[in-house]
Structure 1
Amino acid sequence: MTEVLPGSDKAAANPADKAAANPAEDAVESAVDRDAVERERAKLREFVAGLSGDDIKSGGWFTKLCAQALRSYAGKATWEYFQEKYQGVPADGIVGQQIALAAKYAMLEGGISAGAYAATIAATVGSLGGASPLTVPAGVATFMVDLTFITQLQLRLAHDIAVIYRIPLDVDDPEDMMKLVRVAFGIKAGEVARGSLKFVPGLVRQVLKKYYSGSVLAAAKSLPIVGKHLLQRNIIKFAIPGVGIPVTVLLNRYTTIAAGRYAKSVFREEAEVVELAETLVRRTGHLRLVLWVAWLVINADGEIGDAERLLFQRLTRLARERHQVDDEELAAVVDLDPDEVWRRVDAEPGDLSDVVHAAERVAAVDGDLNAREEAVIAELRDRCGRR
């Protein structure tokens, strides 16, 4: 979020100094933060001004925003950038700081948008149409600035977290881009609208439920899945007269924190798998055999999970790039024959405890071992223990 959070380097680099900051410094920092949000909103107003009613209703705004949000950003928000900005801070600490900063800016923007918003949105969105930007009413433009700000903020936050955990993502690759979108606005992030009701006073909560389940969201039903979710989540913040500002501020903060925590859980788990692969490759003296045994363990139960797939991809990549081990015979296997793996194990001389250890770690990468995985490990231990 390097473009969204200027002026935050001081607080981020020295969080302990915050306790010693005086009110005057806090006021200056708050003014700097608000100015940064206003500048970003100004950029997004230009973006929204180029949208037509059809762009909003069809979900085309989201496709256009994704391209704009990451076009130049990915080149600036690199692992080297974060290492320089947060010298000596572990990845978890940097991620926590980024989530906190994003939540802070989300709250500031929510207050600004709600204060500027002066009309209900549901009927207006439902009546949108036409290909000309001139057909987008001013009230909808204000709504869309808030929506695009939070969408861009959370998309960049997910990108930052992936970068900090050293998970490679190519924003020009459609598969990587969709992965980033799924993480930034995934199932858990999609549950935010329901969970957010607990932040609203009891009397208002019943009204919100009525609006959220009623005709106020009917206009969103034709949107693509991602656009529909984001539009629904945003409409609730403005639909109820009299509670716009507090609801908008709290929802912006809550959805951003939820999105950040979900991205952290996803990319941190991937980082752990990548770290495991590097450890196994570094500690074994039988790399080619480890690859065959690992593939046997992964296929033991007939199902290959995401963590197992990522681990094996990383193992083969590290073997190829660091040790020039590129096993074409293994790569050509369609239906793995366990006897072929056992033949290779029996033919390998010397101590194979490193192979057993690697197999145990591979089996546990997706959780507790099942019966079939345990059977493979037991067979491997038996064969390696005969030496």
Structure 2
Amino acid sequence: MFKNPRSADGGAEDTVGAGSAAGGAAENDEADREAVEEERAELREFVKGLRADDIKSGHWFTKLLSHALNSYARTADWQYFQERYEGVPPDAVVDARIKLAARYAALEGGLSAGAYTATVAATLGSLGGASPATVPAAVTTAMVDIAYTTRLQLRLAHDIAVLYRVPVDLDDPEDMWKLVRVAFTIKGGESVREGLLKAAPALTRRLIKRYYSKSALAVGRSLPVVGRHLLQRNVIKIGIPVVGVPLAVVLNRWTTLITGRHAREVFRNEARVRELAGRLSERTLHPGALPWVAWLVMAAKPGPPSDDKKLLMRHLTRAVRERHQVTDEELARLVEIEPAEVWRRLEALTGDLSGLVTAAEAVAAVDGPASPEEAAVLTELRVRCGRR
């Protein structure tokens, strides 16, 4: 499970690379259901500690962040996964954990949906008239489901970052916000609706379209950004009780798969860029010139560098600093880089400069084929380094 890992039993998590997923699922079905029920009971206590104002304002999400990650992140670290999946490549472990999380999300959806009625949806939509200090029982039912999937998806995104060796400092607001952005990728009401229409069974799509144009969006607009998206994503399965059980199962599973796949894409890419930065730093014979050459290539194309290039520059300067004890304050203060300054620095170097050309080619290709402007810089660099 995705509860505190040091206290969790083995369960389905140990089936990475197993030959028969169906057999393992059958054996673990009852244990998994009991584990989900246990977590639902824990989260029910968490929800009971909320005020109606917490839900209306979106502060429930802020409180859940601490509840979901603080102790979990201290134990679900790289060492934990190394011990549990020794010798298994990260891609295989990530794939297994995405499937596992989606399975638990679907199980929980089935357990929650049986309690959903039109009264629950109406009560959730009328929180504005509730006592600020009291969460109605009907809202508690819905919030346990929402809190479960929210916590599960946050922890899944965290685990994927850890497995790809991407540091996430939960005390750093920027890192925390990045984790939240990765875990919850839906951007707005319209995209939520379109995604739900694709995921839902065909017979329910007309109902979803009609429902989502009315009360669901009205409820969602009353919450802050993250809380609004999460409520929009979940309230639809509450408001259509006729198809509640299958729709809750499908949507819980689907949104968790989306979280896992997006987290895999983001953190695997960051791991790739970090590895490239490390290799370039390790192989260079000219650590002082390497960041200048890299930035010259990145700045060649009009407009700001791509996210991958900016990420590479950040990790490259760090790798050069840590491996070669080289820190260039002049480059750090630079607003616009002049090619002539880079050429001047190259003229002052001795030895084989071909490694700088190879590094520059890798920098240009980090986000795809080199642009014409980058290709021109590479051509000039080859000529100048070839003089040696």
TM-score tier (shorter): over 0.9
How many Å apart are 1:4 and its aligned residue?
6.6
Instruction: Answer yes or no: is the 8 Å Cα contact 2:4–2:71 preserved in 1.
Output: no
Which residue identity is paired with 2:250? L
Distance 1:200 1:2 in 2: 26
Instruction: Provide the residue aligned with 1:122 in structure 2.
Output: 121
SS in 2 for 1:121: helix
Aligned pair 1:184/2:183, yes or no? yes
Distance 2:14 2:153 in 1: 22
Instruction: Answer yes or no: is the 8 Å Cα contact 2:2–2:156 preserved in 1.
Output: no
| CA distances 1:275-328 after superposition (whole Å, capped 9, x unpaired) | 100111111111111111111111112412211111111111111112211222
How many Å apart are 1:17 and its aligned residue?
4.1
Aligned pair 1:91/2:74, yes or no? no
Please give the TM-score of this superposition, normalised by the length of structure 1. 0.93
Which residue identity is paired with 1:250? V
Distance 1:343 1:4 in 2: 56
Deviates more, 1:3-12 or 1:72-81: 3-12
How many Å apart are 1:203 and its aligned residue?
3.7
Q: How does 1:227-242 map to 2 (within 5 A)?
A: 227-242=227-242
Distance 2:21 2:240 in 1: 40
Task: Say if 1:378 and 1:44 are closer, same or farther in 2 by CA, change over 3 A.
Answer: same
Q: Gaps spanning 5+ residues in structure 2: where? A: none
Task: Say if 1:239 and 1:308 are closer, same or farther in 2 by CA, change over 3 A.
Answer: same
Aligned pair 1:360/2:341, yes or no? no
Distance 2:217 2:22 in 1: 45
How many Å apart are 1:192 and its aligned residue?
5.4
| CA distances 1:89-109 after superposition (whole Å, capped 9, x unpaired) | 111111101101100100110
Task: Say if 1:98 and 1:61 are closer, same or farther in 2 by CA, change over 3 A.
Answer: same
Distance 1:187 1:239 in 2: 20
Instruction: Answer yes or no: is the 8 Å Cα contact 1:57–1:125 preserved in 2.
Output: no
Instruction: Answer yes or no: is the 8 Å Cα contact 1:192–1:255 preserved in 2.
Output: no
Aligned pair 1:340/2:338, yes or no? no
Instruction: Provide the residue aligned with 1:383 in structure 2.
Output: 384
Q: How does 1:235-254 map to 2 (within 5 A)?
A: 235-254=235-254
Instruction: Answer yes or no: is the 8 Å Cα contact 2:182–2:262 preserved in 1.
Output: yes
Instruction: Provide the residue aligned with 2:99 in structure 1.
Output: 100
RMSD: 2.2
Task: Say if 1:333 and 1:27 are closer, same or farther in 2 by CA, change over 3 A.
Answer: closer
Instruction: Answer yes or no: is the 8 Å Cα contact 2:154–2:180 preserved in 1.
Output: yes
How many Å apart are 1:346 and its aligned residue?
1.7
Instruction: Answer yes or no: is the 8 Å Cα contact 2:16–2:92 preserved in 1.
Output: no
Instruction: Answer yes or no: is the 8 Å Cα contact 1:69–1:156 preserved in 2.
Output: yes
Task: Say if 1:21 and 1:244 are closer, same or farther in 2 by CA, change over 3 A.
Answer: closer
Instruction: Provide the residue aligned with 1:40 in structure 2.
Output: 39
Q: Gaps spanning 5+ residues in structure 1: where? A: none
Instruction: Provide the residue aligned with 1:196 in structure 2.
Output: 196
| CA distances 1:140-184 after superposition (whole Å, capped 9, x unpaired) | 111000001001111111111111111111111111111111111
Distance 2:199 2:336 in 1: 53
Please give the TM-score of this superposition, normalised by the length of structure 2. 0.93
Task: Say if 1:201 and 1:178 are closer, same or farther in 2 by CA, change over 3 A.
Answer: closer
How many Å apart are 1:126 and its aligned residue?
2.6
Q: How does 1:53-92 map to 2 (within 5 A)?
A: 53-92=52-91
Aligned pair 1:323/2:313, yes or no? no
Distance 2:12 2:241 in 1: 36
How many Å apart are 1:28 and its aligned residue?
4.5
| CA distances 1:316-354 after superposition (whole Å, capped 9, x unpaired) | 111111221122232232322211110111221222110
Distance 2:360 2:98 in 1: 36
How many Å apart are 1:16 and its aligned residue?
4.7
Task: Say if 1:18 and 1:118 are closer, same or farther in 2 by CA, change over 3 A.
Answer: farther
Instruction: Provide the residue aligned with 1:206 in structure 2.
Output: 206
Distance 1:77 1:282 in 2: 30
Deviates more, 1:211-220 or 1:69-78: 211-220
SS in 1 for 2:326: coil
SS in 1 for 2:336: coil
Task: Say if 1:176 and 1:334 are closer, same or farther in 2 by CA, change over 3 A.
Answer: same
| CA distances 1:124-143 after superposition (whole Å, capped 9, x unpaired) | 1232145644x322111110
How many Å apart are 1:40 and its aligned residue?
0.9
SS in 1 for 2:168: coil
Which residue identity is paired with 2:210? K
Instruction: Answer yes or no: is the 8 Å Cα contact 2:32–2:104 preserved in 1.
Output: yes
SS in 1 for 2:289: helix
Aligned pair 1:298/2:298, yes or no? yes
Distance 1:352 1:293 in 2: 11
How many Å apart are 1:115 and its aligned residue?
1.5
Deviates more, 1:312-321 or 1:105-114: 312-321
Task: Say if 1:189 and 1:40 are closer, same or farther in 2 by CA, change over 3 A.
Answer: farther
SS in 1 for 2:341: helix
Q: How does 1:118-157 map to 2 (within 5 A)?
A: 118-129=117-128, 132-133=132-133, 135-157=134-156
Distance 2:176 2:237 in 1: 28
User: How many percent identity over aligned positions?
Assistant: 59
SS in 2 for 1:345: helix
Deviates more, 1:185-194 or 1:82-91: 185-194
